[in-house]
Amino acid sequence: MSGEKKAVVYVRLKEGVLDPQGVTIHKALLQMGYKDFLSVRSGRFFELTVRADGDDIDRQIDEVCARLLANPVIESYSVEKS
């Protein structure tokens, strides 16, 4: 029987790359009166369900991060397996 497993991929902008969404949210917070918020950085994550017995599945996950989920020029990613 083939089981499933989950992996979560977190994609964030590399340090130094401008994050307009984060900046906009931060400005909105200040305008709403939340003065204790110093900065906001935004990111995306993807919850993947994969076949546990897939061929070299960890390598496949890493591959799709670089090929599809993240833009390696400006983004970094990390994978959390469970």
Chain contacts with its own copies (rule: CB under 8 A): 4, 10, 12, 22, 25, 28-29, 32, 34-51, 54-55, 57, 60, 64, 67-69
Compare residues 40 and 79 and give the one whose CB is closer to its own copies: 40
Query: 28 in helix, strand or coil?
Result: helix
Query: 17 in helix, strand or coil?
Result: coil
Q: Which two tokens stand for residue 64?
A: 């799709």
Compare residues 28 and 74 and give the one whose CB is closer to its own copies: 28
Please state the separation of Cα 82 from the chain's center in Å: 16
Q: Which two tokens stand for residue 62?
A: 């890493």
Minimum gap (Å) between residue 73 Cβ and its own copies: 19
Compare residues 39 and 73 and give the one whose CB is closer to its own copies: 39
